[in-house]
Structure 1
Amino acid sequence: MARITLICCLLLGCLGNSLQAEPIKIGLSYPRTGNYKTEGLELHRGALMAVDAINSSGGLLGRPVQLLTRNSASRAQNARNNVERFARQGAQMVFGGATSEEAITAGKRARQLGLLYFATLSYANEVTGREGHRYLFRESNSALMSARVLGEYLGWHMPRQRYHYIIVDDTWGRSIESELRATTGSQDRARHGRSALPSSSALRRHYLDALHKAAASDAEILVLALLGEDLRHTMRLAHNLGLHTRMQIIVPHLSKSIVQQAGPKVMQGVIGTESWTWQIPAQEKSPAGQAFVDDYIRQHGEYPDSAAASAYSIVQQWADAVRRSASLDSEKLIQALENHRYSLLKGPQQWRTFDHQNVQSIYAIRVKTRSQIMQDPLKQDYFEIIHQMSGEAAAQSHDDWQQERGEDLVLH
């Protein structure tokens, strides 16, 4: 008995020593304020859960992991400055962001400083396409992946429809519009009209002008390629104008937070995409995914969003690469990540070698009716999955990627 007690004391002592060692720092740049602050909250929660899980298991390389955070306010220059601040504080990796401009700008600065950068809510093709490089990895899906699953579903169920697009005039907005037009056969702008909102500081009159133009068209499908507060304001105004009664509304990237902010009644019947929802672990028989959902509910009293899942997965995957390479060196971690296949919060995923895009299944989803939502114990069961596409079918091919890159055919 005394020997068992001694062994337990030694083990506890080792664990205590590991958590008293110099921490391994990682930096999360995310919006605490601005257009995407609600999504930022989800990113922060997911990151904290991953760090807590790692530290409760003894840390990493015998050291605890410490999460550093800074507000980006969804601005590219802020994100770049955050990377520099994290580097001065000794961070070994940076992740986050809620726009593609953030990912591109922050990722470039991270490369100059020798740090890996993992993009979260950054959907423009350019992130891992024309602007991609060795030190940048993207966990979220691309605009093309969303467009392909939506295009296939709409082609099967709503063929030969007239479209109207309202986009935010930024990298992602232009990217998703281009891809959706291609996958739905709505490239003819004379037939399928559009309006573009300013990328920052859009006003109520901008939203109304765009919606009145859509209302005056003969469109049967209204695509709102918007995110965050822009989407919330536009959806409420569209509902007040009654556009939902005469058009099928498509929101390419849906999230729990936007349904909560705009309201289930306003969002009812809207179709979009997600790379993960809280129902996916049960559907795809993922014990780790279900444990994440259960733990999130226990801590926060609500279901996790895909943003939380993305941040959690990034931290866990980076930590896994550190363990497998037994190193914090960025080059060794790149080698450990490239072509790595894994399952964590859903079915199989892969960090692709040639572009560092995470290849994973993508889902078309529809917002349930308010009466259906209210039957759920947490009253947050917002989405039904209406279509699914494998990551291999949805992601850009190597040949198309090289065509986009021109003469720059490998990551540097």
Structure 2
Amino acid sequence: MHPGRPAFTRILIGLILLFSASVALASQGTVKIALNYPETGPYYMQGKDQWRAANLAETEINAAGGILNQKIELVTYDTKSSSELAAKNAVHAINSNGVKMIFGGSSSAVAVAVSKVCQEKGVPFFGTLTYSTTVTGEEARRHTFRECNDSWMAAKAISSYMNKNFKGKKYFYITADYTWGWTTEASLRKFSDTEDKAIHKGVLTPFPSTDFTAALKKADQERPDVLVLVLFGQEMANAIRSAHKMGMKERMQIVVPNLTLGMAERGTPRAMQGVVGTVPWCWQIPYTYNYERGIKFVEDFQKEHQRYPSSSAASAYTILYEYKAAVERAGTFDSGKVIKALEGHRYQLLKDEQVWRDFDHQSVQTVYVVRCKPRDEVVKNRYNLDYFEIIDQLPGKMAACSRQEWNDVRKAAGKPTRLEKLPGE
């Protein structure tokens, strides 16, 4: 035997073991991200689409190498649309699972609650489906970003359309009694010139509610030209079906300020026919305006789930890709540096260009006004999901509040006009 062979063999074996250990270590590298969403409760349909799209993005990103060579491990929590439970979930996700980012939700009360936790813990939070102006207004925090438009933007967009077609008409508001409902009604009244509540009356309904008969009867007695349902998720579906049965749609135009595909689906094609609302995105938009990445998303989602994605799905999908891009621009998962990489950044994924505004972290974007198609057109579609006809749109720079308007809101709430830094920055 060659005298140097044993030493050489030991070195070779050592190198093989070291290489194997390095490969194993590299393969174990993961980054945990929490999806805190309504798996159950009144907004479960919006939540289910977030889960579907988040899993699609996770699979795609991991197949392409992950984020900074770390594979995404998606950790999920059910909020049940409860702000208290959502906050507890966020604490557990950060303290016990060590997540680097939290996203999701279909309630502004939930978004505000999770935002507070994440600010204290120094972890970025992305609101997926939260429209109340408070989220990036009075309650704006440095670590919080909102991917969908807010109530102000939706109200400006739909009021632009309504003022062309229903100027000077009588309105009546049925509004969910929580933060999203209040801010949405206030914004819509402002931009539609219906702030005089003696003329344009309204009623608040408890959240959650299942029976809207009394509120609808009160509205019907006032004989408005426009009935505004500031309701969301299953609540909107219940109310619109009741209004349809009562024959109210023949007597007035029904407006739902913030619509989603899931809401229209639960409302049923016949009851939703002719209803006007806004969306930040719907699956028809990429085809209408030829956005290739948006078309691919719709077709991949459709292939996987045999249905079209909603705006909440599009938002969840976009958030994961935007977080990945920000981490890679920053070269680190450090929250402060990731936030700086997001602020002022322009991006385009599933629709036209959007921008993460630096002073409030709102995603400024085009808002689309849609009208629900006739029942016969909806059911011709292979999934019975061709609900929306795009009838108007408002560019983000025209829809969003100005810096001065935001400053005024912050001052009125006794809040600073610059977002506080994260702990440790």
Q: Which TM-score tier does this pair reach, normalised by the shorter chain?
A: over 0.9
Match for residue 86 of structure 2? Answer: 79
- Could you tell me which residue of structure 2 aligns to residue 6 of structure 1? none
CA distance in 2, matches of 1:150, 1:17: 55
Shift of 1:284: 2.9
CA distance in 1, matches of 2:48, 2:176: 22
Q: Is the 8 A contact 2:105 2:128 kept in 1?
A: yes
1:288 to 265, 279, 293: 293
Tell me the residue number matched to 1:171. 179
Q: Distance in 1 between matches of 2:347 and 2:176?
A: 34
Amino acid in structure 2 at the alignment position of 1:60:
I
Is contact 1:18-1:62 (8 Å) kept?
no
Q: Does residue 302 of structure 1 match 2:314?
A: no
Could you say which residue in structure 2 is the equivalent of 1:386? 391
- What's the secondary structure of 2:100's corresponding residue? strand
Match of 1:355 among 360, 376, 385: 360
Residue 340 of structure 1 pairs with residue 345 of structure 2? yes
Between the aligned partners of 2:34 and 2:91, the Cα distance in structure 1 is 10
Aligned residues: CA RMSD = 1.6
Sort the Cα spacing of 1:19 and 1:67 in 2 relative to 1 into closer, same or farther, 3 A.
farther
Residue 132 (structure 2) aligns with? 124
TM-score, normalised by the number of residues in structure 2: 0.91
- Indicate conservation of the 8 Å contact 1:19/1:59, yes or no: no
Match of 1:55 among 48, 52, 62: 62
Q: Can you list the C-alpha shifts for 1:203-226, whole angstroms capped at 9, x where unaligned? A: 42xx11100000100201000000
Counterpart residue number, 1:67: 74
Offset, 1:19 = 7.0
Structure 1 residue 81 displacement after superposition: 0.7
Could you tell me whether the CA contact under 8 Å between 2:39 and 2:47 is conserved in 1? yes
Q: Which has the larger radius of gyration?
A: 2
CA contact (8 A) 2:29 2:69 kept: no
Task: Map residues 105-120 of structure 1 onto 2, 5 A cutoff.
Answer: 105-120=113-128
Q: Secondary structure at the match of 1:26?
A: strand
Q: Distance in 1 between matches of 2:370 and 2:48?
A: 23
Which residue among 256, 263, 279 is the counterpart of 2:261? 256
Q: Distance in 2 between matches of 1:70 and 1:214?
A: 38
Deviation by residue 1:133-175 (Cα, 9 ceiling, x = unmatched): 1010000111000100110001112221100000001001010
Q: Give 2:202's aligned residue.
A: 194
Instruction: Report SS of the residue matched to 1:110.
Output: helix
Instruction: Give the Cα separation in 2 of the matches to 1:41 and 1:369.
Output: 26
Name the count of aligned residue pairs.
397
Q: Relative to structure 1, is the Cα distance of residues 326 and 264 closer, same or farther in structure 2, using a 3 angstrom cutoff?
A: same
Conserved 8 A contact 1:121-1:140: yes
TM-score (norm 1): 0.94
Aligned to 1:43: 50
Structure 1 residue 300 displacement after superposition: 0.7
Cα distance in 2 for residues equivalent to 1:383 and 1:288: 20
Distance 1:104 1:368, change over 3 A: same
Aligned to 1:9: none
**Matching of residue 232 in structure 1 with residue 237 in structure 2:** yes
Residue among 21, 33, 36 paired with 2:40? 33
- Structure 2 residue matching 1:281: 3-state secondary structure: helix
